[in-house]
Chain A
């Protein structure tokens, strides 16, 4: 549930049951019955980008700081984990993962410093510096890619305590576990005083200062937490999904993609990050498969690709007109309506009223 709507709300029984069923299916049924394609090409990138979007949502949705540097922090996470694994092979992979997140957090805090003076568009432009600097540094200094001439690194196999996650199901489960733990921890953080500080800073900076919210600490913490999550997502992207990385894969387009995920999914909502990632990552694939199956014989793949872009663009506009607060608000409205119709619940919060 959104931390903003009712932080200490206990979940209704039906939701608990649904979460239980969901956990059984995501952790049990899909790895056993799902195809390699579903896990390797659809769900693993979905999980990585959803986590990155959750990270950006902490910064942008909750704490109100706009950032265009997400892809840079993905890259920092991926390259940090690669170098930690390469240069300190005795460290276990999970520790590499956490340390890579911390490296990304440190870089994020450095590039978060301008947020103390800059707001809105000006801050967005200053985070572009992170985007360009990181990509430049990774290309310029061969050390980061172990002097590989093409600048491409091969990610090592995922191995934890002697068990190797080499199958598609293994990589999917690994990503799912990491994303689940990270999401739960983020949720707890957002429901704590810190989370309320984030929202206070977003809604009215001066008022927040007056009531005693430490602005410096809160803003930098938001940058740190956000970059940590995005860095971990970068490790998943590189190690579990692509299994090879080049700096150009983390360009500005990727930053925009993550920003669009949270705008379309819904700001200040972790569920929104997942819904948005599903829309941006999974939906084009479904559309592409459908298009190829229905019209593949008639048009070539270029024409199909162009028409998909038009369809997706039109859908984004339609969604945002129907509900500017994103898919998650649309979803909540739909649930409230269906609950009212079935009479299961009388007071489901239809909209999130705490947003300014």
Chain B
């Protein structure tokens, strides 16, 4: 009976031969995009990948690429599902000049770690990802840029402490973490426990099953628990539902602190009044007043090549994160080109670029992004790069920044990360690197 499915297979081969023949040009750098524009997380996907593509377009149109090397990309729809992400990975991995992968999904990123390490191509998980991949000695190709989940947690707890008047005032406070039922949501469970022990507050962590459009029972538990603060570690449709349900059970919005994936316009606008006063952490400001955004509007949208259908979303939180992610990827290529030459780079050369991605506030200003994000300082063993965070409050119409750029308490997190990375290295038989100049041996 085998021959029947064989016929199908032959059909597939035929189609692949037809569809999988990209035009080959000299000097191109390719970005495979595992995007999601449909499904429950489409708001995040369209904003982020829209911003990313807009920035790549800006570099192509304004500068003719990075030092003459054109940037190209191709999208595969994943719907935030792991197996679709893996399929797109297998589909696009053999294209020429793959620069880096940016899946924007912890589940897909986890599935890719072994694969990209074998293929020697960087995997960028800006503001999310597997926390211990911060340790570049064990994870040479994985970059949770700007803010890993533990740093985010530390930032949120420090912010709550500052509202209460210092970390010693956290004692006997109660915090509920409402998290998304996915690998992304669960990533911070141990660190909240740890910080609760350290600062003597009590923490209760409640899961909301994916996608999270029904939260009545969770919020009734929260009402029973009477916490001082609720940390919303949501994603997609879960966030506006949480805010609306909080209003229903009478929990004040200004005591709900959103994490970095619960901080967008798409999270608060559908919640209407219920979102007024809600506070969220962010690594990049919203708004379109920054020079780089103005250039995107003029050059890219002016030429009719803008990626967002709804121009009102230009400068929204997810769109700006996509722009920042574009800046980080492009600058890593530029830095690597300075060492290896102005040509199409291999994935391993781009990895070197990311490991030297140091953008101080002056360089960020030169890129037209002053105020959009603070700075980054990636090294071979610190793949997060010491990003800064700020807090913003929703006033019913837009986000207002309510804090300075704060650095999370990374020194106390590093030992936990190193311990976890060392355990991973043991399980997988990896010898940690001892210097960034080593060729990566896997």
Q: Chain B residues near A124: list those with CB within 8 A.
A: none
The answer to whether residues A285 and B13 also contact, given A246-B82, A301-B37 and a CB cut-off of 8 A, is: no
Task: Specify the main secondary structure of chain A where it touches its partner.
Answer: helix
B62-95 with Cβ < 8 A to chain A? 74-77, 79, 81-83, 86-87, 90-91, 94
Determine if A305 is an interface residue (Cβ-Cβ < 8 Å).
Answer: yes
- Quick check: A300 and B82 within 8 Å, CB to CB? no
How far is B2's CA from A305's CA once the two chains are assembled, in angstroms? 30
- Quick check: B19 and A293 within 8 Å, CB to CB? yes
Q: Chain B residues near A23: list those with CB within 8 A.
A: 2
Q: Which residue of A lies closest to B183 (CB)?
A: A150
**Per-residue B-contact encoding for A219-244, CB less than 8 Å = 1, 0 else:** 00000000000000000000001111
How far is B139's CA from A341's CA once the two chains are assembled, in angstroms? 62
- Quick check: B18 and A301 within 8 Å, CB to CB? no
Q: Chain B residues near A194: list those with CB within 8 A.
A: none
How far is B15's CA from A275's CA once the two chains are assembled, in angstroms? 18
- Quick check: A246 and B19 within 8 Å, CB to CB? no
Determine if B4 is an interface residue (Cβ-Cβ < 8 Å).
Answer: yes
Task: Choose, from B104-112, B224-232, B238-246, the stretch at the interface.
Answer: B104-112
**Per-residue B-contact encoding for A247-283, CB less than 8 Å = 1, 0 else:** 0110100000000000000000011001100100010
- Quick check: B86 and A289 within 8 Å, CB to CB? no
- Quick check: A302 and B38 within 8 Å, CB to CB? yes
Q: Pick from B5, B19, B79, B82 the residue with the most CB of A within 10 Å.
A: B5
Determine if A21 is an interface residue (Cβ-Cβ < 8 Å).
Answer: yes
Q: Chain B residues near A40: list those with CB within 8 A.
A: 90
- Quick check: B12 and A282 within 8 Å, CB to CB? yes
- Quick check: B186 and A154 within 8 Å, CB to CB? no
Determine if B316 is an interface residue (Cβ-Cβ < 8 Å).
Answer: no
Task: For residue B9, give the distance in angstroms from its CB to the closest CB of chain A.
Answer: 6
How far is B134's CA from A328's CA once the two chains are assembled, in angstroms? 52
- Quick check: B2 and A37 within 8 Å, CB to CB? no
Q: Chain A residues near B111: list those with CB within 8 A.
A: 242-244
Determine if A38 is an interface residue (Cβ-Cβ < 8 Å).
Answer: yes
- Quick check: B15 and A21 within 8 Å, CB to CB? no
- Quick check: A292 and B19 within 8 Å, CB to CB? yes
How far is B12's CA from A75's CA once the two chains are assembled, in angstroms? 29
Q: Chain B residues near A183: list those with CB within 8 A.
A: 1
Determine if B374 is an interface residue (Cβ-Cβ < 8 Å).
Answer: no
Q: Pick from B20, B183, B427 the residue with the most CB of A within 10 Å.
A: B183
The answer to whether residues A37 and B1 also contact, given A242-B83, A242-B111, A302-B42 and a CB cut-off of 8 A, is: no
Determine if A30 is an interface residue (Cβ-Cβ < 8 Å).
Answer: yes
- Quick check: B37 and A302 within 8 Å, CB to CB? yes
- Quick check: B3 and A306 within 8 Å, CB to CB? no
Q: Chain B residues near A34: list those with CB within 8 A.
A: 9, 13
Determine if A288 is an interface residue (Cβ-Cβ < 8 Å).
Answer: yes
Q: Chain B residues near A42: list those with CB within 8 A.
A: 9, 12
The answer to whether residues A25 and B94 also contact, given A35-B16, A149-B190 and a CB cut-off of 8 A, is: no
Q: Chain A residues near B189: list those with CB within 8 A.
A: 149
Q: Chain A residues near B91: list those with CB within 8 A.
A: 37, 41, 289
**Per-residue B-contact encoding for A284-325, CB less than 8 Å = 1, 0 else:** 011011101100100011111110000000000000000000
Q: Which residue of A lies closest to B21 (CB)?
A: A293
Q: Which residue of B lies closest to A308 (CB)?
A: B77
Determine if B130 is an interface residue (Cβ-Cβ < 8 Å).
Answer: yes
Determine if B11 is an interface residue (Cβ-Cβ < 8 Å).
Answer: yes
- 10 A-B pairs besides A35-B94, A41-B90, A42-B12 with CB distance below 8 A are A41-B86, A149-B187, A150-B130, A241-B86, A244-B114, A271-B4, A275-B4, A275-B5, A282-B12, A331-B4
Chain B residues with CB under 8 Å of chain A are 1-6, 8-9, 11-13, 15-16, 18-20, 35, 37-38, 42, 46, 74-77, 79, 81-83, 86-87, 90-91, 94, 106-107, 110-111, 114-115, 130, 181-184, 186-187, 189-190, 207, 210, 307, 427-428
A-B contact pairs, 30 of them (CB 8 A): A18-B3, A19-B1, A22-B1, A25-B2, A25-B3, A30-B9, A37-B90, A38-B16, A40-B90, A42-B12, A46-B5, A139-B207, A149-B187, A150-B187, A151-B183, A152-B107, A242-B82, A243-B115, A270-B1, A286-B15, A288-B76, A289-B15, A292-B76, A293-B18, A293-B19, A300-B307, A301-B76, A302-B77, A303-B37, A305-B37
